Structures are given as structure tokens and as C-alpha cells.
Structure 1
Amino acid sequence: MPPLHPLSPTAVVTALRAAGCVFAEDEAELLLTTARTPDELATMVDRRVAGLPLEHVLGWARFHELRVAVELGVFVPRRRTEFLVDQALAQAPDATVVVDLCCGSGAVGAALAAALGRVELYAADIDPAAVRCARRNVAPYGGRVHAGDLFAALPAGLRGRVGILAANVPYVPSGEVGLLPAEAREHEPLVALDGGPDGLDVLRRVAAEAPGWLAPGGCLLAETSERQAPAAVDAFTRAGLTTRLAASEELYAHVVVGVRPERSQDGPGWPGTGLGQG
């Protein structure tokens, strides 16, 4: 039997499988269709075999039916976070002002803008690499990305206007970061993973400040783990938000949803806020 061509589909699958890639066939197809030249394919296979996350090798990730650019050193959007997007759209389908806090690649903000149509979109992250990457992803929607620590990065004029505040905060307890898969530990920024001693430090900070930024009826959403969910719900409730927990067994996703109460349930609408009038 003649030796396999080093760039044949079979050779790519074999190399990925030997490296421990569980979905070697699927990954090989993505690499083969993304690479523009044989040399680029060889480089991509070598990088994946060396342990680089597939999305960093490809330069993109599929998220909520979008192809989102993902640069080296930037947090890779997880499929379970699509559930957060769906919950936001269900809670505030008429939102006109959207903020993606702890935005990473900007995938959540881009997905919300794509689904909602014309919105004011803002994103923020403390990591410079994430800010650069997010700017690529939100640009088609006219989005603006700001660098800084949580709300300090946002324009003051957004106070009281935000219809959807999506905050995919880091929530891994500090002592458990070392237990994460090597792809995350070695190639994603620690600031996007480590949520402090119990994993909820950043979530509590966001919940405490969110009511001042939300429009009446606006919502805050944050992902958490099943174990942390009761404490996360408590943090939202203590901030004065009307809170519920949404869960998806299929995606093993848990999202806390907090809504700023309306001034009056029967009163007039709120012109100039981040919630459209139905």
C-alpha cells in the first residue's frame, strides 16, 4: 500500500485522532475547508496537534448561527452561552440598547444585534486582546467596544438606558482553574476564567451596579454553574432585581436573569430608554 499523502483527509484525521481529538473527523473537515493552501493546512494541523484550541487554529467559532472571529489569547465562546442569548431575546425582544460586558470576542453582543436588528450596541472588556477581537465582530452592527474594568469602561450616558445587559462573567473558582482542560488553562486569559474564591466575585460586582445602568424593565443576564446558582440568584435579588433562574439540560447551561422593576406597571412607556415600545 503506498504511503498516505501528508495532506490527505485521511492523514489529517489520523493525526488529530492520535493527538486525542475526540471529534477528529469533524475537526478535519473544518481544517480542510478553512485552509487556503496546503502549507496553511499543514501549519493548522500542527498547531491543533500541539494543543491549540480548534477555534484559535481556525480563527473563528460558530456561535448562534454566526461565524465569530476568535484571535489567539481570546476566550472562545461556548455553545452553552447561546442559551444566554436566547434568554435575553425572550426577555427583552424589543430592546434597542444592548451592552455586552466581559465581552471577550464580542460573540454575545454580535448575536444579540444580529437577532434584534437595529440597536445601539456597546461592549467592554478589560483584556486588550479581547477588545481588538470584539471590534472586528461588532463592527458590522455599528457596535462600539470599550476597554476597562466592567462599568467603568462604559460611556456615562448609558446609565438608565440599557435594555439588555449581558455579562458572561468569569465564574470558575480560583482553586478550580487548574482543573480546567489544558486548552482553556494554557490558551485563554486567566481574567476570563477566574471568578475569585467561590467564582462569584465578578458576578456580585456586576449585579450590584447593574440597576443604575438598566432601563426600567431592562434585564441583566449572567451565566453560572448549577452549584453556584442559588448564591448568584441571591446576589441579583439583593441588588433589587426581579430574578429568575433559567436552565437548559441539553446545553447544561444556567443563566440568572434579573429585571429592573418598572416605575409603574400601568403607567406610560419610557421614551428614550433601551426598551422599545410594543
Structure 2
Amino acid sequence: MSVSASPCPTSVIVTRLRTAGCVFAEDEAELLIAGAADPVELAVMVDRRVAGLPLEHVLGWAEFRGLRIAVDPGVFVPRRRTEFLVEQAVAAARPGAVVVDLCCGSGALGAALVAEVDRVELYAADIDPAAVRCARRNIAADRVFEGDLFAPLPTTLRGRIDVLIANTPYVPTGEIPLLPSEARIHEPRVALDGGSDGLDIQRRVTAAAPRWLAPGGRLLVETSERQAPHAVEVFRAAGLIPRVVESEEWYATVVTGTRPPDRMPDSLG
């Protein structure tokens, strides 16, 4: 339900948002008005947005590849550029594929894959309890696990994963203070901080991935253009066949690593 007649004119809301630094103030005002049940709620929502809370946290959802993804306060907001990562994963996933969304956050990537690929067998995991609670609202709750990377996943998935999509944190620790305040203050640091060079979590995922991927299975991660050459080295060292794909439209870089069909994991233990 939306506010049919607000005592606060739209122009006033737009001015408040623009003064607070909202670049797309008109669009945001429309979304806030549409999302509020009454003028009182609208006033609260505008105040929260003006105070710096991400729009998605104020609304309670984010648009991602045409889906409305529930996003709770304190949970990482899925970025539009990450739609390119999903695009690559969709291209890699056949109908009935076993897919894992690692570092799943709100579960947006997994939800998109389920929507776009027939009969996907999806599993997801995140270390952040708030993210897990949120993801369970967006994808099958019994397939979302809480814990560190692969640790909480069913061991029956080892050697069976066709597509492993991991939107790992990749901001170098020293660059965290340079992030916009919306991310720096309102999103969990565990979803942003990738260590000294931004690749710490990616290294851990990549090192373990060959034991979990099916022969010919692929690992896909988002990274920066600057980090991509280093990510390629990490993938190659793990025995994966690396490939870099870039999108000028989304200003996004994805590195994929394929487990060679004739190479068996060193250990499944």
C-alpha cells in the first residue's frame, strides 16, 4: 500500500534528499512514497534516508536482475554490477545444475539463478547470522547454512558442484575508509574487507574449490580490474583453468576457474 495523499509535498521530500546528497532524489522520493503505508511511516522513512541509511535498508528490499530481494538493516546490499557475475553463472549453469552461492549475503545471486535456470539445486552459506536470516527469506530456508565458507555445507556436495558462485569481499583493508558512508557505516565489515590486498577470502575459497567442484565445474568470483591478474594466478595455482571476463557497461570484472574434467581433487577429506 502506498501513501495516497501526503501532507509533505513530493518537492519537499526531493529537496531534503538532494540536500542530503542523494543523486537520484526524484526516483528515491517516488520509491519512498510508494513504499510507505501512511504519512507517518513516510516521514520516518525519509528521515532514515536523510540520516544516511542505504535506500534499500529503508525500503526493505533491493532490485536485482528484475527480482525484489529482501534486504534487512545491517545486511550487505547487492550491487547492480554484480548482475554481471550472475550473468556469467547463468551461462555456465545447465538445467538441473548443482549450484552453491558462497558468501551469499541476502541470497540475491542464488535467487536470480533459481529464477533463470531450470531445476537448479541451490545451496547457500554465509558467516554472518543476519545475512543468513535474510537469505532464508529470499531462497529456500533449508538450503541456507550459517558458517565459514564451505564448513557448514553438506559433505555430500563435495565433488558435485557444477557452479560455485562466490561474491567474496575484495576491498583491501586500507581502502575501507574510502568507501561511501552508506557501505562503511551500515554494511557489515565482514562483507567488505578482503584483507591487505583484497584477495584473502578469495584465496581460501579457491584453494578449497577443487575438492568441491564436479569435473568441469566452475568457480566464479567478482573482483576489480586491478586485482584480476593476481586472481588468475591464485586460480591457476589451485589447479583451475582461469578466465577473465569484463563488462564496460557494468564496470565489472569476473574471474572464472574451471576444474579440468580429467583432474581429480587431491583429497575429499
TM class by shorter chain equals over 0.9
- Report SS of the residue matched to 2:261: coil
Name the structure 2 match of 1:71.
72
| Deviation, structure 1 residue 208 | 0.6
Q: Separation in 2 of the partners of 1:22 and 1:259?
A: 40
Q: Deviations over 1:118-161 (max 9, x none)?
A: 2211110000000000000003xx76110000011211010011
TM-superposition CA deviations, 1:191-248 (whole Å, max 9, x none): 0000000000000110110011111111100000011110011111111111100100
Return the TM-score normalized by structure 1. 0.90
CA shift at 1:7, angstroms?
Answer: 2.2
Instruction: Give the partner amino acid of 1:144.
Output: R
Give SS of 1:151's match. Answer: coil
The 1-side partners of 2:240 and 2:253 are apart by: 17
Instruction: Indicate conservation of the 8 Å contact 1:92/1:219, yes or no.
Output: no
The SS at the match of 1:212 is helix
What are the within-5 Å matches in structure 2 for residues 26-175 of structure 1? 26-94=27-95, 96-139=97-140, 144-175=143-174
Give unpaired runs (5+ residues) of structure 2: 1-5, 264-269
Q: Residues 227-266 of structure 1: matches in 2 within 5 Å?
A: 227-263=226-262
Distance in 2 between residues matched to 1:13 and 1:88, nearest whole Å = 38
Instruction: Name the CA distance, whole Å, in 1 between partners of 2:92 and 2:258.
Output: 9
Structure 1 residues 143, 243: CA separation in 2 closer, same or farther (over 3 Å shift)?
Answer: farther
**CA RMSD, 1 decimal:** 1.3
Give 1:95 shift: 5.1
Secondary structure in 2 matching 1:223: strand
TM-score, normalising length: structure 2: 0.93
**Runs of 4+ residues over 6 Å off in structure 1:** none
Q: Secondary structure at the match of 1:170?
A: coil
Structure-1 separation of matches of 2:202 and 2:260: 20
Give the Cα separation in 2 of the matches to 1:18 and 1:197. Answer: 35
Q: Matches of 1:52 and 1:145 in 2, distance apart?
A: 27
Corresponding residue for residue 266 of structure 2 = none
Percent of pairs with identical residues: 70
Preserved CA contact (<8 Å) 2:245 2:253: yes
* In the alignment, structure 1 residue 204 sits paired with structure 2 residue 203: yes
Relative contact order (C-alpha < 8 Å, sep 6+): which is higher? 1
User: 1:95 touches 1:164 (CA, 8 Å); kept in 2?
Assistant: no
SS at match of 2:150: helix
- Within 2, Cα distance between the matches of 1:93 and 1:6? 52
Q: Matches of 1:243 and 1:30 in 2, distance apart?
A: 41
User: How far does residue 117 in structure 1 lie from its aligned partner after superposition?
Assistant: 2.4
The alpha carbon displacement at 1:6 in A equals 4.7
1:193 is aligned to 192
Report the equivalent of 2:267.
none
Query: CA contact under 8 A between 2:96 and 2:121: conserved in structure 1?
Result: no
Which whole-Å deviations, capped at 9, do the CAs of 1:143-185 have from their partners, x for residues lacking one? 6110000011211010011111000000000010010000000
